[in-house]
Structure 1
Amino acid sequence: MTVSTVHVVGKDKKVLLSDFVSLKTLQRIQDTFAQALGISLVIIDAFSKEPITKRSNMSIFCAHMRNIESFIGECNKHDLHCGQVCLNANKASVFECHAGLYGFTVPIMLSGRIVAYFKGGQIRLSNPDIVKCKTLADTYGLDFDTYLEMFLAIPLFSEEKVDASMELLSVIANTISNLAVSGQLAKSKATEALHLNELLEKEIMKKTDELRRSEERYRSIFDNALDIIYTVDSSGVFTDINACVESIGYSKEDVVGKHFSEFVYKDDLQIVNNSFLELKGKMKAKTKGLRFRILSKNLNPVYFELNSNATYDQDGDLQKIDGFLHNIDHSIKMEAQMRDAKEKYKELFDSMREGVYMVDNTGTIRAFNKAALNMFGYDDISDVIGRNIVGLYIDPSERIDFLDAVSKNGFVQDYIVHLRKKDGTTISVSVTANELKDENGKVKGIEGVLRDVTRRIESERDGRYVGNLIESAGQAIIGVDANKNIFLWNKEAENIFGYKSSEVIGRDVSAVIPRNWRTQRSDLVKSVMAGDVVKNISAKRVADDGKIVDMSLTLSPIKDNNGNVIGLSAIAERK
Structure 2
Amino acid sequence: MNKTIQDSPLLFLEKELRLISQDALLIFDTKGIIVDVNNTTARIFGEKRGELKGTPFIDLFSDPVKANNAVEQVFDTGEVKDCELVIETGDENDTIVAFNISLYKDQTGKVTGAFATGYDITRHKREVLELHHLQHYNRGLIETSIDPLVTFDQEGIILDVNEATVHATGRGREELIETPFADYFIDPDKAYKGAMLTFETGEVRDYELVMKAKDGTETVVSYNASVYKDQAGKVVGAFAAARDITERKEAEHEIQNLQHYNRELIEVSLDPLVTFDQEGIILDV
Which of 218, 232, 238 is the equivalent residue of 1:446? 238
Change (3 A) 1:468 1:233: same
1:434 to partner: Cα distance: 1.2
Which of 4, 22, 25 is the equivalent residue of 1:226? 22
CA distance in 2, matches of 1:272, 1:401: 58
If asked which structure has higher relative contact order (CA below 8 Å, sep 6+), I would say 2
CA contact (8 A) 2:73 2:80 kept: no
Q: Residue 70 of structure 2 aligns with which residue?
A: 275
CA distance in 2, matches of 1:279, 1:402: 59
SS at match of 1:414: strand
CA contact (8 A) 1:249 1:298 kept: no
Larger Rg: 1
Q: CA RMSD in A?
A: 3.5
The number of equivalent residue pairs is: 272
CA contact (8 A) 1:232 1:240 kept: yes
Give unmatched runs, 5+ long, in structure 1. Answer: 1-213, 478-491, 513-542, 544-569
Q: Residue 388 of structure 1 aligns with which residue?
A: 180
1:467 aligns with 2:259: yes
CA distance in 1, matches of 2:196, 2:139: 30
CA contact (8 A) 1:429 1:452 kept: yes
SS at match of 1:511: coil
Q: Residue 509 of structure 1 aligns with which residue?
A: 278
Which of 195, 213, 227 is the equivalent residue of 1:435? 227
CA contact (8 A) 2:148 2:241 kept: yes
Which of 69, 77, 83 is the equivalent residue of 1:290? 83
1:457 to partner: Cα distance: 2.2
Change (3 A) 1:221 1:419: farther
CA contact (8 A) 1:392 1:421 kept: yes
Deviation by residue 1:105-142 (Cα, 9 ceiling, x = unmatched): xxxxxxxxxxxxxxxxxxxxxxxxxxxxxxxxxxxxxx
Deviation by residue 1:45-87 (Cα, 9 ceiling, x = unmatched): xxxxxxxxxxxxxxxxxxxxxxxxxxxxxxxxxxxxxxxxxxx
1:423 to partner: Cα distance: 0.6
1:476 to partner: Cα distance: 6.9
1:260 to partner: Cα distance: 0.4
Which of 34, 37, 48 is the equivalent residue of 1:241? 37
Q: Residue 8 of structure 2 aligns with which residue?
A: none
CA contact (8 A) 1:250 1:297 kept: no
Change (3 A) 1:509 1:304: same
Deviation by residue 1:14-60 (Cα, 9 ceiling, x = unmatched): xxxxxxxxxxxxxxxxxxxxxxxxxxxxxxxxxxxxxxxxxxxxxxx
Whichever residue aligns with residue 38 of structure 2, its letter is N
1:441 to partner: Cα distance: 4.1
Deviation by residue 1:214-257 (Cα, 9 ceiling, x = unmatched): 956995343xx433222222322222212222244211111012
SS at match of 2:216: coil
Whichever residue aligns with residue 262 of structure 1, its letter is D
1:474 to partner: Cα distance: 5.8
Q: Residue 257 of structure 1 aligns with which residue?
A: 54
Alignment of 1:90-489 (within 5 A): 215=13, 219-222=17-20, 225-244=21-40, 245-265=42-62, 268-281=63-76, 283=77, 285-296=78-89, 301-312=94-105, 317-378=110-171, 380-470=172-262, 472-473=263-264, 475=266
Deviation by residue 1:315-364 (Cα, 9 ceiling, x = unmatched): 87533322222222233334333333332332332222122221233433
CA distance in 2, matches of 1:335, 1:354: 30
Identity %: 20
CA contact (8 A) 1:368 1:385 kept: yes
Whichever residue aligns with residue 271 of structure 1, its letter is K
1:410 to partner: Cα distance: 0.7
Alignment of 1:78-93 (within 5 A): none
Change (3 A) 1:278 1:316: farther
1:299 to partner: Cα distance: 10
SS at match of 1:352: coil
Divergent runs of 4+, >6 A = 297-300
Whichever residue aligns with residue 475 of structure 1, its letter is I
CA contact (8 A) 2:13 2:19 kept: no
Alignment of 1:529-540 (within 5 A): none
CA contact (8 A) 2:73 2:79 kept: no
CA distance in 1, matches of 2:127, 2:234: 26
Whichever residue aligns with residue 461 of structure 1, its letter is H
CA contact (8 A) 1:475 1:571 kept: no
CA distance in 2, matches of 1:365, 1:460: 32
Change (3 A) 1:243 1:330: same
CA distance in 1, matches of 2:199, 2:284: 50
TM-score (norm 2): 0.79
Give unmatched runs, 5+ long, in structure 2. Answer: 1-11
CA distance in 1, matches of 2:216, 2:237: 26
CA distance in 1, matches of 2:14, 2:38: 14
